[in-house]
Amino acid sequence: MAVLGSTDRRGRLIPGLPPLRSRVDVVFGDPFEAGDGSGRRTRKALDEATVRIQERLTAHLESARRFTGR
């Protein structure tokens, strides 16, 4: 899920959120498996899963920006 609109202007009470009554777009992406399917929980497997998650979220954010035009 990407929430777009939180970087345009900062809220008065909570700076990480957009101001009250401002436009916020929420874009849901397809679910995905973070693991490699092996069930391993080693440091290397967790590091690799972290990289997969980061890549997937970056691609989702780019797609959400194109979809919403923001």
Tens-place pLDDT, residues 5-28: 555 666 777 777 778 888 888 889
3-class secondary structure, 48: helix
Residue 27 parent element (H or E): strand 25-27
Tell me how many domains the chain contains: 1
Between 19 and 4, where is the model more confident?
Answer: 19
| pTM (two decimals) | 0.69
Between 67 and 24, where is the model more confident?
Answer: 67
- Domain encompassing residue 59: 2-68
